[in-house]
Amino acid sequence: MAKGQLEFQEEVDAARIENAMWRSWKADGSGDHSGDHSAKTEKLERVRGSIGDSIDFSQIRYPQETRRCRYDDLPTFPVRPNFAGFENALQPASQCVVFDGCPEDPYHPSNTPIYQTSTFVQPSSSEFGPYDYTRSGNPTRTALEKHVAMLEHAAAAFAFSSGMAALHTVTRLLKQGDEILVNEDIYGGMHRLLTQDCAHNGVQVTFVDTTNLTAVAKAITPKTKIIHTESPSNPRMKISDLRKLATLAHQHKVLLSVDSTMMPPVICQPLLLGVDLVVHSATKFFSGHADCTGGLVCVRDPELAHRVAFLQNAEGTALAPFECFLFLRGIKTMWLRVNRAQENTVQIAKALAKHPRIKEVFYPGPGGCSSEALRIHNSQSSGCGCIISFTTGSVSFSRRFLDASRLFKTTVSFGSVNSLGEMPCTMSHASIPAEERTLPADLVRLSVGIEDVRDLLQDLQRALDFASSQKPPPEHDGYDSRFEDLPVVPRPPDEEERPRKSLSEWLLSEVEGPSTSQMLSGAVPNPNDQNKH
C-alpha cells in the first residue's frame, strides 16, 4: 500500500474509533482535535496496542486499574462506525436489506441472533469487555442501532423501549430554566409530556407555528435550547421547511429536533437537511406489523450522541433484544411496504377529495396542501407518506364512517401493513385539553396499508354510504375472519346421517348440549373417556 493510501486508511480508521470513544477522548484531556491528524494517529496506535493491527471491535477491552477517566466516561457499547458522512452506493430498497448486523460473529449467521441475556461474562475482575449488562449494551441492539444510523446518515442511533421514551430522552437534554419551542400541531403524547412533565421540572414550553419562520424567529429567546417539530405534523399534515428551520436554529445556537415518524428514512433523511436530532416511533414503519413497541433517536453530532448514550444507560430506557430483532426484520421490508402503501394513498386521497361528504383532505400530495407546502415537502422528501386526514363537517358522520369501515380498523397507531383509522380528538390526541386543542372535532386520520387498493376503495365507499344513511352497518360481513356460515371440520361422527351444519349452528348445538359439570359428575358420559386407557 502506498504511503498516501496508508495515511488515508489510518485517518479513516482513527475517525471511526474516535467517534465511539467520546468519553475517554474527553476525560483524558486530549481535547477536541477533530482535524489533527497526529492526535488521531496517536489515539489509533493506543487502541491498536491493545487489540492488534486488526480492528476487531468485539475484542476491545477497558482495563480498570490503568484507566485515566471516570467509570461513567467508559463507552456503554463497543465502538461503531460514524455514518454521518457515509455515502451508500446502494439504492434505498437495497439499503434496507443489505446489512450484516454481526460481522464479527465467528459463525457468520445470515440473520442477527437474539442475544437474550441480561449479563455478559467479563475478561477479568479488573477490566470490562465490549458488553457487561444489557441495559447498557447488547449485540442485537447494537446491530439495530447501526442499521438505523446507516439509513439515517447519523453519527449514532439509539433504540428505546417506546417512541415516548425516545422523545423523553430528547427533552432530558434540557435543564431547569431552558426553553423548548414546539410546533403547535403536535402529537398528543408529546403535548402531555411537555405540559405535564417538562413544565413541572422547570423547562419552559412554548408552542409556535413552525411553518411560519418569522413566528419562530420572534419566539426564540436566550433561553431557547431546542426547537422540536414534525413535518408533516400529526395529524393536520402541516409542512415545515426543515432546511430553513435548521439554519435559523443554528444561527441562535439552538438544536433542531424532528419527529420524523410519518417520514421513515426510505422517504426522508432530515439529518442531511441540517437537523440535529431525528426521533421515530419505531412501532410504526420500522416494525410495520404492529407487533412490537420501540423508539429511535438519531444524532448527527458525536458529542450529542455521547449525552444521549449516557441518558439511555442511566435511565434504563433501552430496547430489549427480542424487540430489536423484530425491528431488524421489519426494516428488511420497509421500502416495499412504504412504497406500496404510498401508491394506495395517492389513489385514496384522490377518491376522498371527489366525495361530496368530505370537506377537506390533508396530506402532502396534490390537493392535500398548498402548492408552496407541496414544493417544500417534495424538496425534502421523496414521497407523500401513507397518512391522510380529512374533515366531514359532522362529528357523528365521522364516527359512523369509522364504525362502518371493515378494512380500516379503528386503531390509535399507524404505519402497519393493515389499513387503520381513528378520530384524533377522542383517541391519539385525547390527552390534549379541549380548550388547548387546535384540531377539528370531526377530523379523521387514515393510515393506508398494503392491501389491494380496489378493496380499500370499496370499503371506504361502503362506509361513506352507511354514514350518509341511517342504516346500521351489518354485523357479520365476512371481514371478521370467523366464517360462521361455512361447514366445520372435523365433522361429528354421525354427521353423515344429518344435514350439514354451519359453524354457527354447530356452536349453538354445543351450547345447548350437556354441560361440563354434568359430564364430570357422571350423569352424562364424557365422549373423551373413550380415548383414555
User: Which residues are catalytically annotated?
Assistant: 135, 187, 259, 284
Please report how the helices 3-20 and 37-51 are oriented relative to each other, as an axis angle in degrees rounded to 10.
Answer: 80
Strand partners, 448: none
Secondary structure (H, E, C), 507-520: HHHHHHCCCHHHHH
At 124 the three-state DSSP class reads: strand
For residue 86, what is its C-alpha cell?
457515509
CA distance 3 to 11: 12
Q: How far is CA 348 from the centre of its chain?
A: 24
Total number of residues shown for the chain: 533
At 158 the three-state DSSP class reads: strand
For residue 418, what is its C-alpha cell?
393493515
Going 527 to 531 to 532 to 533, the CA torsion angle's sign is positive
For residue 520, what is its C-alpha cell?
364430570
The sheet carrying 360-362 orders its strands as 360-362, 387-391, 444-447, 420-422, 409-410
Neighbours of 454 (CB within 10 A): 10
CA distance 341 to 287: 14
CA distance 529 to 533: 9
